[in-house]
C-alpha cells in the first residue's frame, strides 16, 4: 500500500495483493469472505511458491 493508504510490506507484489482489502468498505458484507479468501490464496501463492503446485484440497497431504 505504497500510495499512503496503509503501511507497505516492503514487497511490491504483496502490497498489490493486500491493496484489494481497501475495497472492503465499498462492498456488501456478504462479499467480504470471498475477498478474504482470494487474498489468502494469492498471498499463499506469493509467499510460498511451492503452494502454487498443490491442487485444491491437498492440504495436509505429503
DSSP per-residue codes, 18-58: HGGGGGGGGS-GGGHHHHHHHHHHHHHHHH-GGGGGSPTT-
Range of the structural domain that residue 28 is part of: 19-50
> Is 39 domain-assigned?
yes
> Is 28 domain-assigned?
yes
Give the per-residue pLDDT at 1: 41
> Is 12 domain-assigned?
no
> Is 25 domain-assigned?
yes
Give the per-residue pLDDT at 48: 87
| pLDDT tens string 11-55 | 999 999 999 999 999 999 999 999 999 999 999 989 887 766 555
Give the per-residue pLDDT at 12: 92
> Is 44 domain-assigned?
yes
> Is 24 domain-assigned?
yes
- Give the span between the Cα atoms of 40 and 61, in whole angstroms: 19
- Count the domains in the chain: 1
Within 10 A of 42 (CB to CB), how many other CB atoms are there? 16
Q: Could you tell me if 35 and 21 are in contact, meaning their C-beta atoms sit under 8 angstroms apart?
A: yes
Q: What is the pTM of this model?
A: 0.67
Spacing of C-alpha 28 from chain mean position: 19
Amino acid at each position: 500500500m505504497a500510495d499512503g493508504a496503509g503501511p507497505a510490506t516492503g514487497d511490491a507484489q504483496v502490497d498489490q495483493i493486500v491493496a484489494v482489502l481497501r475495497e472492503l468498505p465499498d462492498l456488501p458484507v456478504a462479499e467480504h469472505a470471498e475477498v478474504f479468501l482470494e487474498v489468502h490464496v494469492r498471498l499463499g501463492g506469493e509467499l510460498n511458491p511451492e503452494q502454487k503446485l498443490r491442487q485444491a484440497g491437498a492440504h495436509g497431504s505429503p
